[in-house]
Structure 1
Amino acid sequence: MRAVRKARSTAAAVVAAALVATPLTLLVSPAQAVVGTAQADDSYAYTAQLTVGDYQHGCSGVLVDEYWLLTAASCFVDDPAASLTVPAGKPAQKTVATIGRTDLTSTSGAVRDVVELVPYPGRDVVLARLARPVLDVTPAKLGTTAPAAGDQLLAAGYGRSTDEVSPTKLHTGAFTVDAVNGSDVQVTGQDNASVCSGDAGGPVVLMPSSTPTPTPTATGPVIGGGPLPITDDRPPVVALNSRSYQVGCYAVDSPEGTPNSAVATRVDDLTSWIYQKIDAPRITDFNCDGIADIAIADPEATVNGFAKAGLVRVVYGGGKGTVELNQDLSTIAGSAEAGDEFGEAIAVFDHNEDGCSDLVVGTPYDDLPGGADAGFADIIYGSPSGLTNGQASLHLEQGSGSGALLGMASKAGDQMGATLAAGQTSSGEPYLLVGIPGKDVGAATDAGSVVYLRGSVSVAISQDSSGLDDTAETGDHFGSAIAASEAVIAIGAPGEDLPVTDALGKVTGTATDTGAVTVLSHDLNSGGIPTQLGFVSQDSKSFTSENETGDQFGASLSTATYYQYLALPNGVKTQLSNAVIAVGVPGEDTTVGSTSYADAGRVVLINDRLNAISLGESIDQSPADVSGGPEAGDRFGAQVTLADLPGDGINNLELAVGIPGEALGSVAQAGAVQIFNTQGNPGDADYWLQEGSVGVPGTPTASHKVGSSIYGTGNALYLGMPYGPNTHGSLYAVPWSNITGGTVAAVTTYAPGAGGLPAAGVRFGWAAR
């Protein structure tokens, strides 16, 4: 930096730790800029410029993951001298980051909102999550060895230069380590380099002359296990700019003899914490405080005297209370009416990209002028004060709004909102899919349709859509199940009728309600419809089963994306996106020996690699090494959920299968959940969950139908118990370690009448997100 010069600002405060009598100041600036030598290349393009508030001050940062920056906590507090304590969650002021634009007058790189802060206690360090990923800038390499006295460092930032308060180019400067004291690295600038106001949070890099010989480093998960060795020879980031005397910085009057010294904050000893936070599963967080919340549906609850009007209860994490959502709230469209079943389906995503989770609620049985059970859906926005904070929900109804919805008409039996799926694409763009399984398509009654919303994209998808292989037919119920991830979309049509063929390929009949699944990508085809990747049925090539009447292939769906990292001969890594789709086939008849078990059920895994669909494992209870054993009416696969547990690759992808019809001894329909790893043979690592096991309270009881409501995240398996033992229903959050790790930790129970939830309801736990 002639380089990173002085870090002082109108808001800057004196820090107690000083190198000499003259105090150092934190590098928070009312402008954005940097000190040092202007960069002519993109070697340090991972350096970010941050603007906090309405240009109130600026800082610097470093990209450490496509979604995350590492920067200074002092950027986000009012008085850094008093405290560096930053509340976790959404920044108090709007914060914008520019990454990969070493010349701020250019259009390279990316500009992103910062939507979440994760502070490291007691240190001038904070992780900042971006609303969307940065895909065209390589994140910095993080060092794991502390700098030592005499080491040569390079600091980068967008702070003030010698003669500019707001330089337009990234600056760097050379420094020598004087001493390392705990988390502080004391440095002195070389060739008049200084750290200046606005440089706080910028990267401090250990230069090659003092960098140990690079060793192979794990860069990410790989199919089949262990990390691929990929050498990264770049100088590592070991610290962040924190405070300085700001000698030679613009508009700073330094007393004679003031050293051009600075203090950086170490991050080399924080790599485990950094990657733990980066890799942590994304949580539902309606009030943006960094603590997990949960929404639990009870679509048959009575609201203001109306039976089955339906409601959703929200429990805020950290003991911050509960709230009830129903259609009688002024911020939610419509009004509570008997039989609406508000909450039949729910989904969570960040629709407006403000860092607060938004809740989508389907009300498929609401009567509209177009007819009974026409249905609709609503997006209820989160905020720092939680849901229903006065902002009206976004109402999604056929014949209203814009795009595809505006051109559609509500009709009796459409059941819009019966199914939902939401999330972010690989580029970070929010999307929502709303199922309308009772929609008539042309002359085909109840053929089914799905509305796909993503940014300016608003299209209706049916089996008659452009680029899809199938044809809309009466009773297909396309959209009865939907699952989606950042890579793929899967839509089930469990009512699909398909031909039955013999070994020679001759059609011998028709299997009614055998079912099919359409797999799509988020990329649009020439007709403006998500591009089809495959149309899958049990008659698909290499499938071990066949189309049979009543199988209901696609009655339930779940999908998850994982990544495979490959090393090329030149040492460059490439990342491949892969998806697994779990397809429930609860009506499948299973034969063991000479005995056939009607509706025993099955689950099929579909793999998508590089947009090439292939059929994977077929899982049921018939193998001798699989727990349970098939029985008539088990309906194994009535519900499925895939959960990507923390760790590398597909080996940590778990499949939970609901078996609500499972009889346990003489206890009919007690129900159970069976868990499988998606790699290897099903019997190699299958686990069993029922009432009274793995920390779940209770005793197997007739008609409790365990497995009728399941949802998996990287943290826990959520087991809904809408049919008992609690009179009103309940929900259990079961840690994965209880299931797969052999240790039993506390199971979190959500039940009406406890934890601030009113003692009322009918099917509490029907769905949870």
Structure 2
Amino acid sequence: MHRAHLARSAGLAALTAALIAAPLAVPATAVTGTAEAEGSLAFTARLDIGDGQRACSGALVDREWILTAASCFADDPAVSLAVPAGSPKLKTTATIGRTDLTTTAGVVRNVVEVVAHPSRDAALVRLNRPVTTVAPVAVSATPAAAGEELKVAGYGRTKTEWAPLKLHSGSFTVDAVSASDVNLTGKDGVSVCMGDTGGPALRVVDGQAQLVAVNSRSAQAGCFGIDTAVTSTAAVNTRVDDLRSWIDAKLAAPRFTDFNCDGAEDVAIGDPKATVGGDTNAGVIRVVYGDGKGTVELNQDQAYVPGGAEASDWYGESLATFDHNEDGCTDLVVGVPAEDITVGTTTNADAGSVQILYGAKGGIGTGQAAVDHVQGLGDIPVIKGSASEAGDRFGHAVAAGHTAEGEPYLLIGVPGEDLGTVANAGSAIYVRGSVNVVANQEKAGYAGDPEANDRFGASLAGSANHLVIGSPGEAIGTEKDAGGVQILKHALNADKVLTPVLGFDQDADVVSGGAEPGDQFGSSLAAVAYRPSGAATATDSIIAIGTPGEDLTVDTANKADAGAVHVLRVTAAGAVTQVSSIQQEATDVAGAVEAGDKFGTKVVLANTAPRAVVSPSTLVLAVGIPGEALGSVAGAGAVQTFYPFGAAGAHDHWIQAGDASGLGGTPTANHAVGTYLGASATRLYVGVPAAAPYGAAYALPWGNATGGRTGAAAAATTYKPGTDGLPAAGGQFGRTFG
């Protein structure tokens, strides 16, 4: 039985509010007009809200976004169109490109985010994965005009069917246009019906459709189940032609960590040396929810978290985030490489484990059960088939994200893995849907050969397009610990391994310098998707490689472990070129080259506008310099940011404790600022775990961290145990970020 709806406008008392379909046993379909041919108006979407509780329509306006009506998601649209930001209250799926619902054409996607317009019956909804097989409809820049004829489509009822299985459309005449609405009348008895809410009203010019408005409310004459005494085919649609800037701003907005799906940025901060229940160095993670919604502690003595807290587990030694179950809530990956794993009667010290803790509307721990990945166990063949062994350090490094197709992936470093009799050669495990493979130097096409203490997998990075694995212990000839890097694609090749792009060291032509003992080339890595000029999407990757052991000669003096960073571009076709080599001796770069600076100990990259063509205002590299002496304060440390293209000194910015960036404290000996960094598209995170008494962490807006290059400065956020809901306890708070 359908629920009655009331008009939201006194001037439209005869109209029903928000033409949301009643619960359906089968999918609903559209306007009382004619059925569309397969493939026609393929951008029109059918929304199933709450597994049949509601049905609406919409239009694909971007490969990841549908424009529809906010009333589809409002609790009572007759009273208010207010819709909370974040994931939809009810599970929502979108079918796009399937004008005949009995076929398998098009795609089905989950809706993971709803953004309602603040004053109109319009909403953008984000899909869990992009749609690449259906062209989005263009949003018109010109409003409808009185007397104009528009084509209106939707997946609602028809005259004779409660739940028809084909998209329908009809012609409507524009009666009047106001600042927010378009008044229409259906021609030849055509009406907008329940289930059509949010569907497109289109102007067709030279065979190309333009989206002018979306269905909001209607009198529904002739719709199935409507009293025959109703004869009006009037409808009111919401204008969208003047919402282009609102739409574009949301489409361009960078994504961020959101564990509780409320649209506010959250952060997880690791304290792997914290004591738990008397177990020293057991480790905790502290989650701080945005908008002042509190903090949560995660440790292995909690019922939700797998395992049990033990001394020296160092829980949270590595962290990463992605939306693994594609529900719109960010999920947390926790590496526990010091975890001891018992197999039979043998305890393998530091074998390691990796957990996925799922975000949910109530926060981490309130939704899907956590997953604990342990070698030799579970249902992922590549993990189950790999034995837990002492010193493997499974999870020493973790990288997670989404491919260009939107599929979640997880990369796990196992630098202590023995390959045959080769101790600590290292390996990595990659999991993406049904794909699960091992990456190591035994694989065809990968650079180098497994050697003792290569520690392949000690560092990892990934973008939507590429993966990067470091082996900082790699010996190049007789040059021990010179280091190496392997770049891969997400796709498997004919050998059923991640497709190699390039494996190299500093003796390669693609990178400046030369392999030297102790360089540790690749001990820190970062990668980010990059849209070059002329490309429609971010098809390439920018990769930063830290070489903190690099010795530099200034005049005739050798500066041991001064450090350097190399930045490379990897194209979609696999071409790899160096775009910059950054050292503090470069012209106009702040700071002086000094022995022990270890410039590049940690590198992070951020693309603050991932949809835009990269420019100095969108791409930023942050480099940690933990050995930096500030005046007479030895080992105080600092962070330096750069635009990695062009001259290093053209856009560099210096950050140290107590300066205008918002990094708190004062320069203090051996605080080693720059050892622990994290990044989102909006913020640089700087950890200072040596800060008394428990450590500290800071979130610097990128405008602060770049001296205004990537936007205006804003208030920085300080996280300290004992303040703002964080308990006054810990060991080295601020070592990791997720």
Would the TM-score normalized by the shorter structure come out above 0.5? Answer: yes
Distance in structure 1 (CA, Å) of the matches to 2:539 and 2:104 = 28
Distance 1:543-1:316 versus aligned 2 partners, 3 A rule: closer
Contact between 2:15 and 2:217, CA under 8 Å: does it hold in 1? no
Structure 2 residue 388 is matched with structure 1 residue 388: no
Distance in structure 2 (CA, Å) of the matches to 1:75 and 1:329 = 39
Contact between 2:256 and 2:681, CA under 8 Å: does it hold in 1? no
Give the CA deviation at 1:565. 6.1
Structure 2 counterpart SS, 1:498 = coil
Give the CA deviation at 1:378. 0.8
Distance in structure 2 (CA, Å) of the matches to 1:579 and 1:542 = 15
Distance in structure 1 (CA, Å) of the matches to 2:354 and 2:427 = 14
Distance in structure 1 (CA, Å) of the matches to 2:92 and 2:547 = 47
Structure 2 residue 544 is matched with structure 1 residue 582: yes
Structure 2 residue 375 is matched with structure 1 residue 398: yes
Distance in structure 1 (CA, Å) of the matches to 2:64 and 2:225 = 35
Amino acid at match of 2:621: L
TM-score, normalization by structure 2 = 0.94
Amino acid at match of 1:665: G
Contact between 2:355 and 2:373, CA under 8 Å: does it hold in 1? yes
Amino acid at match of 2:292: G
Contact between 1:565 and 1:575, CA under 8 Å: does it hold in 2? no
Q: Within 5 A, what are the aligned runs for 1:115-130?
A: 115-130=112-127
Structure 2 residue 615 is matched with structure 1 residue 655: no
Structure 2 residue 564 is matched with structure 1 residue 602: yes
Contact between 2:579 and 2:645, CA under 8 Å: does it hold in 1? no
Distance in structure 2 (CA, Å) of the matches to 1:682 and 1:236 = 45
Q: Within 5 A, what are the aligned runs for 1:326-365?
A: 326-365=299-338
Distance in structure 2 (CA, Å) of the matches to 1:371 and 1:44 = 60
Amino acid at match of 2:352: G
Residue in 2 that maps onto 1:433? 411
Structure 2 counterpart SS, 1:697 = coil
Partner deviation per Cα, 1:14-62 (whole Å, 9 max, x = no partner): 1232555523332111241102222225342111001112212211011
Residue in 1 that maps onto 2:634? 668
Contact between 2:562 and 2:599, CA under 8 Å: does it hold in 1? yes
Structure 1 counterpart SS, 2:502 = strand
Give the CA deviation at 1:147. 2.2
Structure 2 residue 619 is matched with structure 1 residue 623: no
Distance in structure 1 (CA, Å) of the matches to 2:101 and 2:260 = 34
Residue in 1 that maps onto 2:218? 244
Which structure has more relative contact order (CA 8 Å, sep 6+)? It is: 1
Distance in structure 2 (CA, Å) of the matches to 1:563 and 1:270 = 25
Structure 2 counterpart SS, 1:404 = helix
Contact between 2:359 and 2:367, CA under 8 Å: does it hold in 1? no
Structure 2 residue 528 is matched with structure 1 residue 560: yes
Give the CA deviation at 1:344. 0.4
Partner deviation per Cα, 1:264-316 (whole Å, 9 max, x = no partner): 01122222222222221212111112222111000011111111111100111
Contact between 1:52 and 1:93, CA under 8 Å: does it hold in 2? yes
Residue in 1 that maps onto 2:514? 546
Contact between 2:317 and 2:336, CA under 8 Å: does it hold in 1? yes
1:521 to 489, 492, 496: 489
2:730 to 751, 754, 761: 761
Contact between 2:360 and 2:367, CA under 8 Å: does it hold in 1? no
Distance 1:26-1:254 versus aligned 2 partners, 3 A rule: farther
Residue in 2 that maps onto 1:324? 297
Amino acid at match of 1:359: L
Structure 2 counterpart SS, 1:511 = coil
Partner deviation per Cα, 1:654-689 (whole Å, 9 max, x = no partner): 111111111111111111111111222111111111
Partner deviation per Cα, 1:405-438 (whole Å, 9 max, x = no partner): 1111111111111110001111111111111111
Amino acid at match of 2:434: S
Structure 2 residue 237 is matched with structure 1 residue 264: yes
Structure 1 counterpart SS, 2:138 = coil
Structure 2 residue 674 is matched with structure 1 residue 698: no
Structure 2 counterpart SS, 1:274 = helix
Residue in 1 that maps onto 2:209? 235
Residue in 1 that maps onto 2:16? 24
Structure 2 counterpart SS, 1:25 = coil
Structure 2 counterpart SS, 1:732 = strand
Contact between 1:26 and 1:243, CA under 8 Å: does it hold in 2? yes
Q: How many residues align?
A: 720
Amino acid at match of 1:376: S
Distance in structure 2 (CA, Å) of the matches to 1:337 and 1:24 = 62
Distance in structure 2 (CA, Å) of the matches to 1:63 and 1:498 = 52
2:705 to 739, 745, 748: 739
1:415 to 393, 402, 407: 393
Give the CA deviation at 1:766. 0.5
Structure 2 residue 461 is matched with structure 1 residue 495: no
Give the CA deviation at 1:555. 0.3
Moved more, 636-645 or 263-272: 263-272
Residue in 2 that maps onto 1:225? none
Amino acid at match of 1:555: S
Q: Within 5 A, what are the aligned runs for 1:435-450?
A: 435-450=413-428
Structure 2 residue 252 is matched with structure 1 residue 279: yes
Moved more, 637-646 or 612-621: 612-621
Distance in structure 2 (CA, Å) of the matches to 1:517 and 1:614 = 14
Residue in 2 that maps onto 1:372? 349
Amino acid at match of 1:447: A
- Cα RMSD for the two superposed structures: 1.8
Structure 2 counterpart SS, 1:204 = strand
1:310 to 263, 272, 283: 283
Distance in structure 1 (CA, Å) of the matches to 2:538 and 2:317 = 36
TM-score, normalization by structure 1 = 0.91
Moved more, 168-177 or 260-269: 168-177
Partner deviation per Cα, 1:325-377 (whole Å, 9 max, x = no partner): 11111222221111110010011111111221111111111222242111111
Distance in structure 2 (CA, Å) of the matches to 1:335 and 1:591 = 50
Structure 1 counterpart SS, 2:621 = strand
Residue in 2 that maps onto 1:292? 265
Distance in structure 2 (CA, Å) of the matches to 1:621 and 1:161 = 70
Structure 2 residue 149 is matched with structure 1 residue 171: no
Moved more, 459-468 or 303-312: 459-468
Gaps (5+ residues) in structure 2? Answer: none
Give the CA deviation at 1:108. 1.6
Contact between 1:658 and 1:707, CA under 8 Å: does it hold in 2? yes
Q: Identity over the aligned pairs, expressed in percent? A: 50
Residue in 1 that maps onto 2:553? 591
Amino acid at match of 2:472: P
Give the CA deviation at 1:390. 6.7
Distance in structure 2 (CA, Å) of the matches to 1:288 and 1:446 = 40
Amino acid at match of 1:704: H
Contact between 2:491 and 2:499, CA under 8 Å: does it hold in 1? yes
Structure 2 counterpart SS, 1:29 = coil
Amino acid at match of 2:577: S
2:575 to 600, 612, 623: 612
Distance in structure 2 (CA, Å) of the matches to 1:390 and 1:86 = 22
Amino acid at match of 1:204: A
Structure 2 residue 119 is matched with structure 1 residue 146: no
Distance 1:19-1:340 versus aligned 2 partners, 3 A rule: same
Moved more, 247-256 or 61-70: 247-256
Distance in structure 1 (CA, Å) of the matches to 2:472 and 2:3 = 62
Distance 1:468-1:51 versus aligned 2 partners, 3 A rule: same
Give the CA deviation at 1:576. 6.3
Residue in 2 that maps onto 1:750? 719
Structure 2 residue 3 is matched with structure 1 residue 11: yes
Q: Within 5 A, what are the aligned runs for 1:474-489?
A: 474-489=452-467
Amino acid at match of 1:458: N
Structure 2 counterpart SS, 1:191 = helix
Gaps (5+ residues) in structure 1? Answer: 1-8, 210-232, 500-509, 567-572
